[in-house]
């Protein structure tokens, strides 16, 4: 119950402020070194990556993309490892070519792609890789949009356990 209440409070604050929100679970004893950025290459996720780079340029960054496919296609997709490798190569090429990002960032980013729901895969990745900070870009559509459509960022806030940076991106940003 506490986790749900915490998640809803953070989501409410994230909808109401324009500034990035850093949610810290435990006292940090060193600077963030390993940062994972949830990405779908939307403007919101790119804004999250750039903001994290601006705040923590000394860190190593991993872009994490979860590609949610229908369960019937999942078995076939997982058997073809070349598709994931191609997806990761495409992600890296997008980072290097994206003029919204600081050019120096390209050399400090690795990419991870997998099949499944982001809110299921990312928390496991964060725990397994001992990630210091997770970054989530939010579109900032508001409560009605989230209630009707749902929001991956909202579900990630509720699922993730460690420190979290939420970067809101609006269409006029």
Domains of the chain in sequence order = 2-168 (3.40.50.620)
| pLDDT for 78 | 59
- What are the residue ranges of helices labelled H in the chain? 2-16, 43-55, 71-79, 81-97, 118-128, 143-149, 152-159
Helices 118-128, 152-159: axis angle to 10 degrees equals 40
H-run or E-run covering 7: helix 2-16
| pLDDT for 149 | 37
Averaged pLDDT in 10-residue chunks for the chain of 173 residues: 51 72 85 93 87 94 86 57 83 85 80 88 94 85 46 75 84 52
Question: Could you tell me the CA-to-CA distances from 94 to 8, 75, 169 in Å, in that order?
Answer: 33, 27, 19
| pLDDT for 150 | 47
Task: Report helix, strand or coil for 72.
Answer: helix
Nearest to 152 by CA among 65, 89, 78: 65
Non-local (6+) Cβ contacts of 70 within 8 A are: none
| pLDDT for 8 | 64
Beta pairing partners, 37:
63, 135
Task: Report helix, strand or coil for 114.
Answer: strand
Euclidean distance between the first and the last CA atom of the chain, given in angstroms as a whole number? 35
| pLDDT for 2 | 41
| pLDDT for 131 | 96
Which parts of the chain are beta strand (E)? 21-23, 34-38, 60-67, 109-115, 133-138, 163-168
| pLDDT for 144 | 42
| pLDDT for 5 | 42
């Amino acid at each position: 119950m506490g986790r749900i209440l915490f998640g809803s409070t953070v989501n409410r604050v994230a909808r109401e402020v324009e500034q990035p929100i850093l949610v810290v679970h435990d006292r940090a004893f060193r600077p963030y070194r390993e940062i994972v950025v949830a990405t779908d290459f939307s403007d919101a996720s790119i804004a999250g990556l750039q903001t994290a780079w601006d705040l923590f340029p000394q860190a190593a960054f991993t872009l994490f993309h979860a590609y949610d496919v229908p369960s019937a296609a999942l078995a076939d997709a997982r058997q073809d490892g070349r598709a994931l490798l191609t997806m990761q190569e495409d992600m890296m090429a997008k980072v290097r070519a994206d003029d919204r990002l600081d050019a120096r960032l390209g050399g400090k980013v690795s990419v991870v792609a997998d099949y499944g729901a982001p809110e299921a895969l990312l928390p496991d990745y964060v725990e397994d890789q001992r990630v210091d900070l997770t970054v989530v870009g939010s579109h900032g559509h508001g409560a009605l949009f989230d209630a009707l459509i749902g929001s991956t960022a909202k579900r990630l806030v509720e699922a993730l356990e460690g420190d979290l940076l939420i970067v809101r991106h609006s269409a006029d940003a």
